[in-house]
Amino acid sequence: MGPRRLELTLDHCVSYPASNSTKLCVSGVNKTFRRDGKSVHVLEDIDLTVREGEFVCILGPSGCGKSTLLNIVGGFTTATSGRVEIDGEPVRGPDPRRIFVFQERGVFPWLTVEGNISFGLFKLPKHERERRVSHYVHMVGLKGFEQSYPHELSGGMKQRLEVARALAVNPDMLFLDEPFGALDSITRLLMRGELLRIWQAERKTILFVTHDIDESVQLADRVVVMSARPATIRTIIDIDIPHPRELSSRRYLELRDGLLDEIGLAHKV
Amino acid sequence: MKPWERIALPVAAGAVIVAIWIAAVHVSGTTVFPLPQRVLAGTQELAGKGVLGSYVRDSLMRVGAGYLLALVAGIPLGIALGWYPLAARSFNPLIQMLRPISPLAWIPISIVLFGVGDEAAVFLIFLASFFPIVTQTMNGVKEVPEMFRLAGLNFGLSAAQLFRRVLFPAALPQIVMGLRIALGIAWLVVVAAEMIAVDSGLGYLIIDARNAGKRYDLVVAGMLMIGLIGLALDTAIRRLETLRALRWGFRHE
Amino acid sequence: MRNSSKLLPLGVFAALTLAWHAAVVSSEQRLLPTPWEVVLGIAELAQRGLLIKYVVASLFRVTWGFAVAALLAIPFGLFLGWYRRGEAAVNPFLQILRPISPLAWIPISILWFGVGDGAAIYLIFLASFLPLAVTAMNAGRNVLDVHLNAGRNFGLSQTQLILRVLYPSVLPQLIVGLRITLGIAWLVVVAAEMIAVNSGLGFLIVDARNAGNRYDLVVAGMLMIGLIGLLLDAGMRSLANLKILRWGRAASS
């Protein structure tokens, strides 16, 4: 017990010295909410390092606090204790260099597809703005819908629109909070393929929160498995299958079953 | 329902209503309450004298002036109250207390402040439309989903930009709804406003027609005109809700 | 923060009261009362036993007009919402009648009910009936087909379907409609009491002005109307917060 405690008090960002490739470092993060006079402990001693260009999935049951972790990393809330550093600098608030993608409800309903994609480009000259908009309209397959409003689009189109809006400002990190949760399973599968394609083309560092085991094995370089509240990191699993991944390969099934075990689910329905 | 029914059913219902009206007048043997045809004749008489047009115009002018003032004062105030929670906590109790006071109850005060005439009438209409606009705008700004605000901040917007590019457009459907409610109320109050010794307008027509010789045909004619114009105003302002940039905020069947 | 959030509204209230006082004292005609004179006015009314009497009289009229309107308008509106043909037939006429101010009905209500409580209650009834009927109609129309089909699937008869599916699913919208309408009824009580009745808060305002320019009593009456209106609204709001109704807000937001 003694040595373990000692290890916990060590600063994660120091004990794993930041190499050039370290993008994000979370060290000893705790989060406690006050709700109705009671304090709720949501996150407990979270240590995590993410490398530049890595795709990391945070997997856990609904309501475990994984979104809270993402919100802290994104700068929308502050941790009760602990440190969060990106590129060696502490996170002080939201930053256009790292864009948060909500479920498709985050697109602005009062703007057209074009208006949404160019939302963050207000500092650019007009021709550059137009170039980027048309580039990303093309990339996410919304050609012909530039003048449409979100309520005229399907759920999958709205989700791609939100990803395009994030990519257009050329961030170096993307935070995605269960982005495909509201989509049907066929669209969800297609969207995963699209996201991987974009990630491989643009090499962003991606932090992706999900409660879907298959999704995490299909997408991530590493899967961070979290426990129920107060959330701790149970384990981190490397997904050592090259893309494109064969969903019926032995290794894929092995890793998936391993995660099922880790979360404590039986392999039968 | 077939398309022809959409027209035939109201026409049939209208015929039944008119028939009941005529029958009721005959059965009760009233000499005061007018038959539909007398109301029609009364309307023609007003139109022939040229009074109808000028009364409608005067009423619309008063409502327009009071309503525009309420809009100019109410929208900025509502935005401020929705934006600064502290301001809302300070002023909202007062606003919520003034709101249930009928514009009619203000008549004595408005006469003291503005004397008898158009200004007092405009003041009453201003009061009546001001509160719904403020309340609705305030709620609209307050209820903008947190997610939109966060997304705006994420893209590096300044406070002014956040307001202009996120909060205002997000609250706009609610504001427009407030404008619609307020226009309805302003039109309701025109009768009250025109009871303060002004000598024109549809509200004046109704009171005057009764007091000067119990011309109930003109009373009913005035009421119908108010109803029809009110409906036209509501239809017109509803068109705002179908603008493409606003349509998302309204649930349409 | 916790303290300032309670102190600030009080501070604003105090500042506005002072401003009111200063404005009255510095004006030349001094017709309008200072806040303190209004407090004395309320005390005087209470002492003469008029305050309670007038409040009760106003509440009595509003209760009757509102209750009768609710009893008739809700079934009527639900019926129209349920049978689309009925709605198509009657709706245009509801929409024409709606913008007509209850005040415009004064001549007709006097004609039908004479001068007195009957006419006053009738005006409040009119003011409440149309908004309630329209709300009930919309609520009835918006019952989800899924819910109705689920009910039929479990073998409910038509009556059971109305009691166990239609009624609970329209209830949240109806409560909102009732709240808004009670606000309107309370607005109209002033108008209703201007028709020669000799009690009530509306009467107080008109009477205090006409009989000797007692503006302290006018403002006292207005304050009472505002306060009671606020209380009525708070009461209806707590009704809407009942646990079994709370789903309606979550679903609509």
Q: What's the residue count for chain B? A: 253
Q: Are A85 and A95 in contact (CB under 8 A)?
A: no
Q: What percent of chain A is predicted at pLDDT more than 90?
A: 21
Q: Most B CBs within 10 Å: which of C27, C101, C190, as the mutation test of the B interface? A: C101
Averaged pLDDT score across all residues of chain A? 84
Residues B7, B56, single domain; the answer is: no
Tokens of C144: 């989800």
Q: Is it the case that residue C252 has pLDDT exceeding 60?
A: no
The answer to whether residues B238 and B165 belong to one domain is yes
Q: Give pLDDT tens digits for A32-56.
A: 988 777 888 888 888 999 999 999 9
The answer to whether residue A81 scores a pLDDT higher than 50 is: yes
**Chain B 156-195, residues with CB within 8 Å of chain C CB atoms:** 184, 187-192, 195
User: What pLDDT sits at residue C152?
Assistant: 76
Taking each helix axis as running N to C, give the angle between helix B216-241 and helix B51-83, from 0 to 180 degrees, rounded to the nearest 10: 40
Average pLDDT, chain B: 86
Measured distance CA(C1)–CA(A4) in Å, rounded: 41
Within a 10 A sphere around the Cβ of B5, how many other Cβ atoms? 14
Q: What is the DSSP letter of C175?
A: H
Note if the bond before A125 is cis, omega within 30 degrees.
Answer: no
DSSP single-letter state for residue A16: S
CA distance C36 to chain B (A): 17
Query: Chain C contact for B212, CB < 8 A?
Result: no
Written as one string, the DSSP assignment of C16-82 is HHHHHHHHHHHSSS--SPPHHHHHHHHHHHHHTTHHHHHHHHHHHHHHHHHHHHHHHHHHHHHHHHH
Q: Note whether B3 and B86 are same-domain residues.
A: no
Residue A20 scores a pLDDT above 70: no
Rg (CA), chain A: 19
Measured between alpha carbons, how far is residue B207 from residues B54, B115, B191, B211 in Å? 17, 20, 9, 6
Residue B63 shares a structural domain with residue B46? yes
Residue ranges of domains in chain A: 2-55+65-92+211-263
Please tell me the distance from the alpha carbon of residue C212 to that of residue C227, in angstroms, as a whole number: 25
CB-based burial of residue A212 (10 Å sphere; 0-12 exposed, 13-18 middle, 19+ buried)? middle
Domain that holds residue B197: 39-249
Regarding whether B227 and B192 lie in a shared domain, the answer is yes
Which tens digit of pLDDT belongs to each residue from A228-248? 878 888 889 898 888 888 888
What is the distance between the alpha carbons of residues B249 and B122, in angstroms, rounded to a whole number?
31
Query: Is pLDDT at A153 greater than 50 in this prediction?
Result: yes
The type of residue at A76 is F
**Long-range CB pairs of C86-92, under 8 A, 24+ apart, other chains included:** C87/C137, C87/C141, C88/B1, C88/B5, C88/B6, C88/B9, C88/B10, C89/B9, C89/B10, C89/B12, C89/B13, C90/B10, C90/B13, C91/B10, C91/C137, C92/B10, C92/B14
On whether both B18 and B46 belong to a single domain, the answer is: no
Gap from B157 CA to chain A (nearest CA, Å): 8
Full set of structural domains in chain C with CATH:
33-252 (1.10.3720.10)
Is a pLDDT exceeding 50 seen at residue A136? yes
What percentage of residues in chain C have a pLDDT greater than 90?
9
pLDDT computed for residue C166 by the predictor: 80
B3 and B76 part of one domain: no
Beta-bridge partner residues of A210: A59
Counted across chains B and C, CB pairs separated by less than 8 A come out at 158
**DSSP states of B97-137 as a string?**
HHTTS-GGGGHHHHHHHH-SSHHHHHHHHHHHHHHHHHHHH
Indicate whether B205 and B80 sit together in one domain: yes
Partners of residue B244 in chain A, C-beta under 8 Å: 149
Residue of A79, A55, A22, A28 lying closest to A206 (CA atoms): A55
The two tokens of residue B40 are 């029609």
Cβ atoms A188, A155 nearer than 8 A: no
Which residue of chain B comes nearest to C231, CA vs CA?
Answer: B97
Q: Does B155 touch chain A (CB under 8 A)?
A: yes
- Write down the pLDDT at residue A106: 83
Give me the sign of the Cα torsion angle B147, A203, A253, A24: negative
Give residue C250's pLDDT.
46
pLDDT band for C149, please (50, 70, 90 cuts).
confident
The chains found to touch A (3+ Cβ pairs under 8 angstroms) are B
pLDDT at C69: 94
How sure is the predictor about C247, in pLDDT bands with cuts at 50, 70 and 90? Answer: low
Inter-chain residue contact A110 with B153, CB threshold 8 Å: no
Cross-chain residue pair B150–A100, CB shorter than 8 Å: yes
Q: Are B36 and B18 in contact (CB under 8 A)?
A: yes
Asked if C142 contacts C173 with a C-beta cutoff of 8 angstroms, the reply is yes
**Tokens for B188?**
């309701």
Cα–Cα distances (Å) from B35 to B206, B253, C108, in that order, read 17, 39, 14
Separation in Å, CA A163 to CA A145, A194, A229, C78: 15, 10, 29, 45
Residue B249: which pLDDT band, with cuts at 50, 70 and 90? low
Of B90, B187, B190, the CB nearest to C8: B90
pLDDT tens digits for range C7-59 = 777 888 888 889 888 888 887 767 788 888 888 888 888 888 888 889 999 99
Q: Does the pLDDT of residue A210 top 60, yes or no?
A: yes
Report which residue type is found at A166: A
C49-100 pLDDT, tens per residue? Answer: 888 889 999 999 999 999 999 999 998 998 888 888 888 888 888 888 888 8
Class of domain A2-55+65-92+211-263: alpha beta
What's the confidence (pLDDT) of residue B71? Answer: 94
Spatial CB neighbours of A230, under 8 Å, sequence gap ≥ 6: A41, A42, A43, A44, A65
Report the CATH number at residue B86. 1.10.3720.10
Whether residues B24 and B76 fall in one domain: no
Predicted confidence (pLDDT) at residue A5 exceeds the cutoff of 50: no
User: Do B105 and B229 belong together in one domain?
Assistant: yes
Segments of chain C assigned E as strands: none
Provide, as residue numbers in chain B, all residues whose Cβ is less than 8 Å from the Cβ of C233: 96, 100
pTM of the model: 0.79
Asked if C205 and B108 come within 8 Å (Cβ–Cβ), the reply is yes
Instruction: Tell whether B19 and B98 lie within a shared domain.
Output: no
Mean residue pLDDT of chain C comes to: 82
Number of domains into which chain B is organized: 2
Helices (H), A47-154: 66-74, 113-117, 126-139
Q: For chains A and C, tell me whether 3 or more CB atom pairs sit within 8 A of each other.
A: no
> Whole-angstrom Cα distance, residue A56 to residue A210?
11
B213 and B239 part of one domain: yes
